[in-house]
Amino acid sequence: MKVHPSSSRLTNKFYDVNFNFTGDSGASIADALTFLKCVFVLLFDMSEVKIIECPRDAMQGIRTFIPTEEKVTYLQALLRVGFDTIDFGSFVSPKAIPQMQDTAEVLSKLDLSATNSRLLAIVANVQGATSAAQFDEIAFLGYPFSISENFQMRNTHKTIAESLITLAEILNIAQANNKDVVAYLSMGFGNPYGDPWNVDIVGEWTRKLTEMGVSIISLSDTIGSSTPDVITYLFSNLIPEYPKVEFGAHLHTTIERWHEKIDAAYHSGCRRFDGAIQGFGGCPMAKDELTGNMPTEKLLSYFTAVKAQTSLNPMSFESAYNEATKIFSKYL
């Protein structure tokens, strides 16, 4: 097997386990499982990385309202870059997120004729999903599902049990309108609110969501608490266990820790990454101090270094980066 150089750590583990597994000394069941997981992850090594740009996440916490036309100008710049998906807006209560109250108007003004990027809108309830599903231009409905009871209530004013019912209804709406649902597993890497959290709880909720029919799950580091060890453990176990599910990494980070987080997720088989240019944003419903989004330019730098395919146009990205500087320096 020809192994991409970026998988050197996994490759070493692969050969170590392969020797034990095929040698005369005998192998345990644990060795066999580890061997198969390594093979599974290595098979993903040369696959293209999807980058999901999240201007909605970058803008939603800004108090000064950004005029619709300026949002449209920025989004048009992003649509030229080649992102797999753009998380462009949300159909939620304008009282909760006033910055996104013009999402439908923004969508009506976008020129989508020359882009391959698909659009994702965040919804928090059935009403929002019904509104978003009316637009053919929207490919994905994103639903924030928290495994923290406290954060679920804070974010959507629902208990986890109520949120499950809502998710089931949103899945039905999506199916009836030819949309896909992206479930964001909020607090997927840790919980600051005192609710029970461990990797087994994350695994259990993943199982429940997949049984409901969710096929895209983005593990969300809502407050930037993830560590490389936890990132590695979750992705390296969940990806081979649920081969029909597309797993993503929605990571928040400080400037010092971006590389170790991307590196851990990528080497564990994750090929779907959310980012926001210059790391703007963060969840306004989380803790009082926001931890910024994963900077898209850091994602691009990392994937260029490991020679991963992204389909992004560097010149168009530079143009979008400059537009981000204009809009966020003006309103932040």
DSSP 205: H
- The helix (H) or strand (E) run that includes residue 57 is helix 55-59
- The helix (H) or strand (E) run that includes residue 14 is helix 8-22
Which is more confident, 281 or 67? Answer: 67
Q: Which of 223, 316, 235 is nearest to 277 (CA)?
A: 316
Q: Which of 245, 324, 229 is nearest to 279 (CA)?
A: 324
Same domain, 33 and 79: no
Question: Which CATH number covers residue 56?
Answer: 3.20.20.70
Same domain, 2 and 124: no
What percent of the chain clears pLDDT 90, i.e. is strictly above it?
Answer: 66
Residue 209 has pLDDT above 90, yes or no: yes
By three-state DSSP, how is residue 148 classified? coil
pLDDT at 6: 37
Q: Residue 42's domain spans which residues?
A: 1-46
Residue 142 has pLDDT above 90, yes or no: yes
Q: How many domains does one find in the chain?
A: 2
Which is more confident, 154 or 248? Answer: 248
pLDDT at 151: 57
Q: Which of 167, 163, 155, 314 is nearest to 223 (CA)?
A: 155
Q: How far is CA 271 from CA 207, 223, 248, 299, in A?
A: 20, 21, 7, 11
Report, as an integer, the average pLDDT of 28-37: 61
Same domain, 36 and 180: no
Same domain, 173 and 292: yes
Same domain, 37 and 152: no
For the purposes of burial, counting CB atoms within 10 Å of the CB of 231, is it exposed (0-12), middle (13-18) or buried (19 or more)? buried
Q: Are 234 and 189 in contact (CB under 8 A)?
A: yes
pLDDT at 150: 66
